[in-house]
Each structure stands twice: as C-alpha cells, then as structure tokens.
Amino acid sequence: MRRKFRKLGFLLCLLFVLGGLAQTAWAQQLSVKGVVTDAATQETLPGVNIQVKSTTKGCITDLDGQFVLEGVGKNDVLIVSYIGYKTVEVPVNGRTELKIALGEDTEMLAEVVVIGYGTMDKKELTSAISHVSQKDFLAVSSIDPTMMIQGKVPGVSITNTGAGDPNNQASIQIRGVSSRAAGLGPLIVIDGVPGGNLTNLNPNDIASFDILKDGAASAIYGTRGSNGVILITTKKGSKDGSIHTSYTGTFSFDVMKKELDMLTAQEYRDLRSDSSVGYDLGGNDDWLDAVSQTGFSMQHTLTLSGGNDRTSYRVSADYR
C-alpha cells in the first residue's frame, strides 16, 4: 500500500512540474498589436508586411495601418517592410503594443532609369522597364556581360549553351519570341548607339543595364525592338580634376562538377556477352575524359579616367 502511495505522489509531482513548464512556455508567447505610420506625415500605412525574423510567421497591416500578430516570443525581432520605404527591424522586448514609423527610401525613389529617348526617375515610370545597377551585378568569371544579370530581371531568359567556349555569347530572350523577322534576340543599344556587340564589350566598363520589355517602352526603336531592347550605360570619368588609374585581373578555372557514371570495359563485355557477335569489345578508353579538360581563362583590365567641370574621359584596355 505504501508503495502505491509513493507512485501516486511521484505522478502528481510530475504532473505539477509539466504543467508549470507548459504554463511558462505559453506565457512566453505574446500577442503583439500595433500601428505603422509614415515618419514624415504621421499617416497610417495599409498593406505593410510584418514578419518575425528567421521564421515564416507574419501578417500585413489593415486599411487603418493596424496589425495583430499572435504567438510572438518576447525576445523576437519584427521585420517591417513596405515598397518605397526603408525596411526596419523592431525588437519586441516583451512589449505587446508597438508604434512603428517608416521613413521613405529616397535613394530608391530617386533612382534614374534610362529609357529610349532620355532618362526618367524610377517612381515616374509607367511602362515595363527593369533597371539593374552595378551594385546588383552578379560576381561571375565569364567575359560575357549579360551573365552579370542572369536571373536578376523577371521575364528575361539568359542561357549559355556553349559555356565551355569563353568567347561564346549567351542567348537572350525577353518575354519569349515575338518576331521571327527581327531575329530571336533583343536589340542592344550601348550609350545610345543601336546594334552594339556584347562580345566586344568589357564587363568592367558597364555601369547599368536597362531592359525595355513592352511595346510602350521600346516603340521608339520600331520593329528592331520587337523582341525587347537592352540599354547599356558605360562608366564615366569622375569630374574631381584628378587622374585615376585602376587595374583588375581575374583568373578562373572551369571544371566538370560531376562526371557521368560509366561502365568499364569488362562491365560492358559482361552486359553484352549474350549478343557480342559483330561488336568490337576490346579496349578500355574513357572517352569522356578524352574530350574534356579543365578550362582556364584570364582577363586583365587597365583603366585611366578623370575630368573636370567641363568634360570627363575614361579609357580602358582589356586583354583576355
């Protein structure tokens, strides 16, 4: 009987401990509510994205700029983002009510985009134009400039089927093929000059890409722009009155990531032993190894630039 009471007492103690742990864990989860406003005008912002950092838990503000987020830890951090505004991180610190003010991202709103007949602020665009600046370029070893924006622009497909050849130019398609007469690729315009050749352009000389994807944006180029237009702006010399020189050198190796699993000569003979009449089953040559090798490429660029208030210059020499 005494042993039964001991077991019962142990079970009761265990239930009390587990109940306390569950209550503690539940107490650490907060229901956070708040409002998001414009830092300058104090107006509420609807549709603001609020997400708990390093999780998929989140919500958006309603028409009055208010939000409620359940199951938030007291030490969690909220990431608040909205188009045209700077993204901020707000630590909860055990609070259940938050008032968050977002400031405008003036750098993004003031970004200048090159169009067919001049330039325009990004916030004033109404046609389908994508802008990729130098800070967004991919770090690649290819001498093809278009590989720097591969996967960066929606609706633009860039493929390089001859990647083994360092001089091979990638294939570009903007929103698919729209005209057989004008060719498959888009029109290339370099510093306002149509018909440029990307193969002869040094990637280190490019400042930005602007991709015109719809008819309204590329109408000025007529039928030549039926497959889209890529406007390339090259770098300019600084107007600080001094001369600047720079050198860039790259060395790269291309290797096969994974070789195909092939049969040896003896394994192939065993496989074909029942029908080996008429076959030359001798030798053990690895033809994949025979036709492939480690690719090596290098590129050296020497640049001289400068200028003053009246003019600027930039000269570069490229060796590949």
CATH number for the domain spanning 76: value is 2.60.40.1120
**pLDDT per residue as tens digits for the range 106-148:** 665 555 555 555 555 555 555 677 778 777 777 766 677 877 8
Same domain for 205 and 281, yes or no, is: no
What's the total number of domains in the chain?
3
Same domain for 188 and 151, yes or no, is: yes
Does residue 18 fall inside a structural domain? no
Of the given ranges (45-59, 179-193, 267-281, 292-306), which has the lowest mean pLDDT?
267-281
Q: What is the pLDDT of residue 179?
A: 46
* Domain extent for 122: 110-234
Does residue 9 fall inside a structural domain? no
Q: What is the pLDDT of residue 115?
A: 58
Of the given ranges (62-71, 115-124, 251-260, 285-294), which has the lowest mean pLDDT?
115-124
Out of 51, 86, 102, a domain closes at 102
User: Measured between alpha carbons, how far is 258 from 149 in angstroms, rounded to an integer?
Assistant: 26
Q: Greater confidence, 7 or 153?
A: 153
Top mean-pLDDT range of 24-33, 102-111, 249-258 = 249-258
Phi, psi of 97 (to 5 degrees): -130, 130
User: Measured between alpha carbons, how far is 170 from 198 in angstroms, rounded to an integer?
Assistant: 10
Please say whether the beta carbons of 153 and 211 come within 8 A. yes
Same domain for 118 and 156, yes or no, is: yes
Looking at the predicted structure, is the pLDDT value of residue 268 above 60?
Answer: yes
- Given pLDDT bands bounded at 50, 70 and 90, which one contains residue 24? very low
Same domain for 224 and 161, yes or no, is: yes
DSSP per-residue codes, 75-114: T-EEEEE-TTB--EEEE-TT-SEEEEEE-B-HHHHT-EEE
Same domain for 211 and 116, yes or no, is: yes
**CATH number for the domain that contains residue 156:** 2.170.130.10
CA angle 209, 213, 218 (to 5 degrees): 90
Same domain for 98 and 122, yes or no, is: no
Does residue 11 fall inside a structural domain? no
Please say whether the beta carbons of 59 and 67 come within 8 A. yes
